[in-house]
Structure 1
Amino acid sequence: MVELSRRARRLGRRADNSDWVDRAAGLGLIAYGVVHLVVGWLAVQLAVGDHSGEASPTGAIGELADRPYGAVIVWATAVGLYLLVIWQLIEAAAGHRFARRRTWKRLLSGCKAIVYGALGTSALKVALGSGAQGNERKTDDATARLMDLPAGQALVAAVGAVIIGIGVNLLRLGFTDKFLKSFDGKGRSGTTGTAYTWLGRVGHVAKGLALCMVGVLFGWAALTHDPDRSGGLDAALREVLSQPFGPALLTVIGLGFCCYGLYCFAWARHLDR
């Protein structure tokens, strides 16, 4: 058993050091960037009065399916997102060996794998023809089922708190430039590096604000015991739209998501694991 454990650790380290993992992560980040670009575009469309689309990752995947060669694009997106899952699972098992708070970083990689897996599954369903519409209704239904459990309100509030925590962490990364740690030297230097830095700053802040709003919706649903007051990203962005100067604010957030998508492309090119 001890020998098997040692062999597994060696295999994990070998995989973590593999150039193939770098290539897989890069392809996955490109797919992730495409999803954020489309989310940003849908948010801007919502701001200018087109309410037909769902400004969320699943809505973005559905939008991609409706474009020319949509099936090919969605299949490629699904594959890319599952490559991100493999990358983060390897990081969770054998990565971050020389990092401070290694256990925490590996746990975070495991959580990222779950998020990427959920998005990849949404893309796979669209590719297979199941569709990705009605995601906000599914969120409400899931919140209602969670709220019916013992201590359900507390559980929904906890979900909201976790989402807010993720949003705050994105804001922290955006304001401190710590996201640049995952870029190689070329990606951080010169005029190009400055452009990448600003894309990362704006993208992280916009996405962080949006996720904080999603978390607030979950918290409000828990407080009022009304699952219909919860919702995903699309509901949060529509809530922004209803505020004073809502269209302008939503346009800024949408453009911020586009910046995050472009940042993902830069990250794929200059990835330093």
Structure 2
Amino acid sequence: MSSPKNAAQAAQNSTALETLARAGYVVLGIVHVVIGLIAISSVASAGSTEADQGGAMARIQQTPWGVALLWVIAVGLFALTIWQIAEALLERDPDAKKKWAHRVKFLGTAVAYIAIAVTAIVYALGGRSDSSQSSQTLSAQLLASAGGVFALSLVGLIVAGIGIAFIVRGCTRAFTKHLALPGGTTKKGIVAFGIVGYVAKGVAVAVTGVLFVVAAVTHDPQAAGGLDAALDSLAALPFGAAILWLVGAGLVLYGIFCFARARYARM
């Protein structure tokens, strides 16, 4: 075995890392519950949702022991990142195409966890982060470069594809393959929360991708945005308040599902 694979195997044999990775699912759940609650509360206020990772971290920062919890979130998510990278390195599917598809999925998930962890650190240190502003800045930079429209469209299609993958994973219950679930009512409840949670998150992520594509087609970087902008776009649709409430509730259920995942994930 190569040195990276040895390191990956050692990581997965570490009880301490597994414990931290499971804690990572708990803190990931906390973040999604807070995002979902922000989205739900914005229905009544009829204002901008601010329902993204930055908004969640800001709410957590304002609670007692908030800064300490932000550091716990960062540590847990970094542990999950290491675990995902190890999974990618140790992927053994005999089908070469599936092997690389799984590796891309694990590495993509690792990048997402790193992004949330970095946001937690920024707020723990007293800083601020705006996902929509970051998305608009990236869009403007890409549009100003050669082939920028194509590049930005590609980013949007990839993000939208990730959202669709979440929806498919929820509808097909594919996520259950990675869980060692108990029987009876507990299993049914966890699976139900997972289905609704994956679909809700998939819708939000897919809309984020669509915003990037719209920014590329219209040559308007201001059209792009993060998760908060995606939820604002849903709120602007006919029956938008109901849609936003349902997606927000779904994100809360996804967070609760993450709590169960911390206990029952196959690690």
- TM-score range for the pair, normalised by the shorter chain length: over 0.9
- Cα pair 2:136 2:222 within 8 Å, conserved: yes
Q: Are residues 1:138 and 2:134 paired? A: yes
2:88 paired with 1:75 = no
Q: CA deviation at 1:65?
A: 0.5
Q: Structure 1 segments of 4 or more deviating over 6 A? A: none
1:266 maps to which residue?
260
Aligned runs of 1:125-204 on 2, under 5 Å?
A: 125-132=122-129, 134-186=130-182, 189-204=183-198
Cα distance in 1 between the residues matched to 2:48 and 2:238: 22
Name the amino acid aligned to 1:215: G
- Contact kept? 1:92, 1:109, Cα under 8 Å: yes
Change (3 A) 1:172 1:218: same
Once the two structures are TM-superposed, the CA of residue 7 in structure 1 deviates from its matched residue by 4.8
- What number of residue pairs does the alignment pair up? 265
Query: Are 1:229 and 2:223 matched, yes or no?
Result: yes
Report if the CA contact (8 A) 2:11-2:83 is conserved: no
Determine helix, strand or coil for the equivalent of 2:45.
coil
Contact 1:22 1:271 in 2 (8 A): no
Does residue 242 in structure 1 map to residue 239 in structure 2? no
- Whole-Å Cα distance in 1 between the matches of residues 44 and 173 of structure 2? 31
TM-score for both structures, normalised by structure 2: 0.94
Aligned counterpart, 2:44: 48
> What one-letter code is carried by the residue in structure 2 that aligns with 1:211?
V
In 1, the alpha carbon distance for the partners of 2:2 and 2:106 equals 22
Q: Does 1:105 align with 2:76?
A: no
Displacement, 1:47?
1.2
1:206 equivalent in structure 2: 200
Asked if the contact 1:160–1:215 (Cα under 8 Å) also holds between the matched residues in 2, the reply is yes
Aligned AA (1:26): R
8 A contact 1:45–1:51 mirrored in 2: no
Q: TM-score with structure 1 length normalisation?
A: 0.92
Does the CA contact (< 8 Å) of 2:49 and 2:231 recur in 1? no
The CA distance in 1 between the partners of 2:207 and 2:234, in whole Å, is 8
**Distance of 1:53 and 1:215 partners within structure 2:** 18
Q: Cα offset for 1:81?
A: 1.3
2:81, 2:113 within 8 Å by CA — same for their partners in 1?
yes
AA of the residue aligned to 1:216: V
The root-mean-square deviation of aligned C-alpha atoms, in Å, is 1.6
Q: Percent identity?
A: 35
Alignment of 1:2-21 (within 5 A): 6-21=2-17
The one-character-per-residue Cα deviations of 1:228-257 (angstroms, maximum 9, x if unpaired) are: 011111011111111111111100000000
Contact 2:35 2:51 in 1 (8 A): yes
CA distance in 2, matches of 1:107, 1:71: 33
List gaps (5 residues or longer) in structure 2.
none
Please state if 1:216 is matched with 2:216.
Answer: no
Deviates more, 1:214-223 or 1:85-94: 85-94
- CA-to-aligned-CA distance 1:30-62 (integer Å, 9 cap, x gap): 111111000000100111115365100121111
**Given the superposition, is the C-alpha separation of residues 222 and 264 from structure 1 closer, same or farther in structure 2, using an over 3 Å criterion?**
same
